[in-house]
A and B are shown apart, each in its own frame.
Chain A
Amino acid sequence: MIPIILGITLVVAIFIQIAPGDPARIKIGNEATEEEYQALRDEMGLDDPFFVRYFRFLGNALRGDFGKSFYNSRPVMAEIFQRFRYTIVIALLSVTLAVLVGVPLGIFAATHQYTIMDNAAIALALVCVSMPSFFFALLMIRFFALTLGILPPSGITTWQGWILPTLSLALGFAATITRQMRSNMLEVIRQDYITTARSKGLSEFKIRYKHALKNAIIPIIMIVGGIFGMALGGAMIAEIIFSVPGLGQYTLGGLTGRDYPIVQGSTFFMSVIFSVIMLLIDLGFAFIDPRIRSQFARRRKRERVS
C-alpha cells in the first residue's frame, strides 16, 4: 500500500513537471517586471530540480503539510479536511445505496430468469449504466427541484441537499451491481455444489440464500471497491452540478488554475483514502472467503519462518 501511494505521488509530480502553463505567470500577470516574476518563481520553488521539489513535497506531506495554495495562500491541508467530508459522504451514501438496491435487484432478476420481470430488470439496468450521471442529474433537477419544488437544485444547507448528488452518482453504480450480481448468481446456480445441495433435499430458499448467495456475493465485494474509486472521482461532477464545496471541485479548480499544491495534496489524499478502502475490502474478502483466509495464514506463517 505504501509503495503504491509513493508511486502515485511520483506519477502526479511527473504530470506536473511535464504540464504546460506557468503558475507564476498566471499569478503575477503580464504586466509584472522580469525581476518580480523571477522572484515569485523562486518563492514558489518552481525552478528547483524535479527531485528536490518532489522530496520536499513528500517530506512536508508526511508531516501533514501540503503547502499553501499558490493563489489565495490558504493551507491546502486544512482546506482538504474541510471539503473532504462532502465528498466522502456523497461517495459513501451513493455506494451504500447502490449496494442496497443492486444486490437484491440482481438476485431478483436471476431468480426470475426467463420472465418479463427479469427482462425488465436487465433492460432498466442497462439503460441506467448507459446514462451519463450529469445528464441524469439535470433530469432530476428539472423534475424534483423545478417542477415539483421538493428538493433544492443546488447547495447543501439542509439534509435534502444530499439527496440529488447522491442519487446522480448511485444510479449507474446500482445498475452495474445489478448486472454483475445477476450474472454471478446465474453462474453460481450452475455449479456442482448447488446440485449437491439440491440432492440433499434442501429447499429452494436455502439453496438460493444460503449456498448460492454467499458464493455469488464474494466477487461483488471486489467490485464495490472499484465502484468506490469511481465514486471518489465521479463526485467531482456531482459537486460541480450541485455546487457542493467538496474535494472534487477543489481539485478541478487546482488543475485548471495550475495550483500545484492543491493538485498534489488532493490526489495524494484521495489515493490514501482509496488505498485504505481497498485494504479494508481485502480484509473483508478474507473474512468471507475461507480460501483467501488460509492464503493469508500461510503467508503469515511463511513470513514468520523466514
Chain B
Amino acid sequence: MNDNMNDNILEIRDLVVEYRTDEAIIHAVNGVNLVVKRGETLGLVGETGAGKTTIAKSILRILPTPPSKICGGEIVFDGEDLMQKSESAMRKIRGEKIAMIFQDPMTALNPIERIGAQISEAIAQHNKIKRYEAENRASDMLEMVGIPMERYNEYPHQFSGGMKQRVVIAMALACNPTLLIADEPTTALDVTIQAQVLEIMQSLKERLGTSVIMITHDLGVVANCCSSVAVIYAGEIVEYGSAVQVFDFPTHPYTIGLFGSLPKLNSTEPRLKPITGLMPDPANLPTGCSFYERCPDAKEQCSGSKPAMVEIEAGHFVKCFRDGGGE
C-alpha cells in the first residue's frame, strides 16, 4: 500500500470509535478501513445509525468528547496521521484541506449571522487576505452555487432548504479543500431539489478537482456520482469496491439485501424484498458476524466468530465467510 501513497488522499486504518454514557458503551465504529483515492468520489453507504457520520466527524476530529472517544486507528490524510496532530494543526486542516457538508441545512447555518459573513469567515480564517477580498471570494462562491450575490447579506431563515444547502456547499468549498465530506447532503431536501444540489456538487468537484466522500443511504445517489463504494453495517465495512463491481456483482448478503429492497423498473417481481429485522444494538454487539441475525445464508460458523475482509477480485473486498472470510 505504501507505494501508492500519493494516489490515496485519505486512508483510514482500524478506526474504532465509542460513545460512553452512564448507561453503556456504544460501539459506533468497529475497526473501519477505508481508502479514498485522489480526485475520486467514494460512496459510503449504510442505514441510519451504522456509523457513517461518526466516521466523517472522526476524520475532522470534531466529535463531541465526551461522550465520544476515538479508541484506536489511524487516519492518514495526504501522508500525515491526523490522530497525531495537535488541535491547532487540526484547525488549519478543517475547512482549508478537509471540508464537510452536513445533513440538515436547516440547522447547519448560524441563524443570526448573514450567510455571506458565514462563508467569508471560513475564507478569512485560512487566508491572510483583506476583509473585502474574503467578501469578494465569498460572493463569487455564492454565484458559483447559483445564488445571486445580492443575497449576500441575508439571513438563513430567508432561504429555502435547497438554497440553504447551496450556501453550505459554497461554505465548504470556499477554501478549495482537497477532500470534501458530504454527509447525506440531499436527505433533508425535496426530490427535485436533490438532483439540483447533486449536480452543483458534481460540477464543482470536477472544476476544483476535489476528492469526495459521499455519505448516503440512497443507492441512487451513489450510482449517480461515485466511482467506488463502501458498504457499512453496524460500524464495520462489509463490502468495498469500485462502483461497477459493487453494483454489478454485489457479494455481501447485506449489500445484496440493499439492492433487493430497491424498486427496479425492468423487474417482473411483484414485491420488493426488504431485509428483515433490525440492526443489532451498538451497545450490545454480537460476538460473531454482526449481520448474522438478519442474514438469509447464516451458518453456525457466523455466530461464533467474525469473518475477515477478503479480496475476491482486484479491488473488490468482502467480509463474509461465504466468500472465504474464514481463512
Q: Which residues on A are within 8 Å of B, measured CB to CB?
A: 114, 190-193, 195-203, 211, 214-215, 218, 288-291, 294
Contact at B100–A199, with CB atoms within 8 Å? yes
Contact B93 A201 (CB under 8 A): yes
Tell me whether B112 is interfacial, beta carbon within 8 Å.
yes
Bound-state CA distance A200–B94 (Å) is 5
Q: Closest chain A residue to B91 by CB distance?
A: A201
Q: Which residues of A contact B96 (CB under 8 A)?
A: 201
Q: Which residue, of A191, A193, A201, has the highest number of chain B Cβ atoms within 10 A?
A: A201
Q: A291-B111, A294-B158 are in contact. List 11 more A-B contacts (CB 8 A).
A: A192-B107, A192-B108, A196-B171, A198-B62, A200-B94, A201-B92, A201-B96, A215-B112, A290-B112, A291-B112, A291-B157
Chain B residues near A201: list those with CB within 8 A: 91-96, 122, 125-126
Nearest CB to that of A195 among chain B residues? B62
CB neighbours (8 Å) of A199 from chain B are 60, 62, 94-95, 99-100, 102
Pairwise interchain contact B168-A196, C-beta atoms closer than 8 A: yes
Q: Given A114, A198, A211, A290, which contacts B155 in the complex, CB threshold below 8 Å?
A: A290
CB-defined contacts of A291 to chain B, threshold 8 Å: 111-112, 155, 157
Q: Which of A191, A196, A218, A289 has the most B CB atoms < 10 Å from its CB?
A: A196
Q: Nearest residue in B to A218 (C-beta to C-beta)?
A: B112
Chain A neighbourhood of B168, CB < 8 A: 196
Q: Given A195-B102, A290-B155, A294-B155, decide whether A200 and B125 contact each other with a Cβ distance below 8 A.
A: yes
Q: Which residues of B contact A290 (CB under 8 A)?
A: 111-112, 155, 157
In the complex, what's the smallest C-beta–C-beta distance from A306 to chain B, in angstroms? 23
Let me know if A289 and B112 touch, CB within 8 A.
yes
Which B residues are in CB contact (< 8 Å) with A195? 57, 62, 102, 108
27 residue pairs of the A-B complex, CB under 8 angstroms, read A114-B66, A192-B102, A193-B108, A193-B111, A195-B57, A195-B62, A195-B108, A196-B108, A199-B60, A199-B102, A200-B94, A200-B95, A200-B125, A201-B95, A201-B96, A201-B122, A202-B91, A202-B125, A211-B113, A214-B113, A215-B112, A289-B112, A290-B155, A291-B112, A291-B157, A294-B155, A294-B157
- What's the Cα separation between A192 and B158 when bound, in Å? 18
Closest A residue by C-beta to B168:
A196
A197: chain B residues at CB < 8 Å are 110
Contact A200–B121 (Cβ < 8 Å): yes
How far does the Cβ of B95 sit from chain A's closest Cβ, in whole Å? 4
Bound Cα distance A190, B67 (Å)? 12
Shortest Cβ gap from A142 to chain B (Å): 44
What is the distance, in angstroms, from B106's C-beta to the closest C-beta of chain A? 9
Q: Flag whether B140 is at the interface (Cβ < 8 A).
A: no
Instruction: Please indicate the chain B residues that have their CB under 8 angstroms from the CB of A198 in the complex.
Output: 60, 62, 94
- Residues on A with beta carbons closer than 8 Å to the beta carbon of B171: 196, 200
Q: Which residues of A contact B92 (CB under 8 A)?
A: 201
In the assembled complex, the CB of A190 is this many whole angstroms from the nearest CB of chain B, namely 8
8 Å CB contacts to A: which residues of B34-74? Answer: 57, 60, 62, 64, 66
CA of A280 to CA of B93 in the docked complex: distance in angstroms? 44
A196 to B169, CA, bound (A): 11
Among A198, A289, A294, residue most surrounded by chain B Cβ atoms (within 10 Å): A198
Q: Complex formed: what's the CA distance from A192 to B126 in Å?
A: 21
> Cβ of B15 < 8 Å from any Cβ of A?
no
